Amino acid sequence: HSPGVQPADLEEVVQKGVRTLVIGRGMSEALQVPSSTVDYVRKNGIDVLVLQTEKAVEEYNALAAQGVKVGGVFHSTC
């Protein structure tokens, strides 16, 4: 869970041209998402949301239903 989600972990998603990226930190939010990772995503012109996984899935589904080009990375445990 540490060092958590790194910029290199998100390269493929960033390359897909998403406009928003939703990151789920796990059920108990144990997965770390460093500010350097958030900065990397934002510097690529992508909005980023870092949420508890259940909330992240809800947000992802809502954005997708609105037609937003959204990507998601979800930690399903912890």
pLDDT digits (tens, 9 = 90+) for 41-63: 999 999 999 999 999 999 999 99
Cα separation, 54 vs 8, whole angstroms: 24
Return d(Cα 46, Cα 21) in angstroms, integer: 7
Whether the CB-CB separation of 7 and 42 falls below 8 Å is answered with no
CATH of segment(s) 7-74: 3.40.1230.10
Q: Could you report the per-residue pLDDT of 16-45, keeping only the tens digit for each?
A: 999 999 999 999 999 999 999 999 999 999
> Does the pLDDT at position 78 exceed 90?
no
> How high is the pLDDT of residue 76?
87
3-class DSSP state of 47: strand
- What is the pLDDT confidence band of residue 69, given thresholds at 50, 70 and 90? very high
Which residue ranges make up each domain of the chain?
7-74
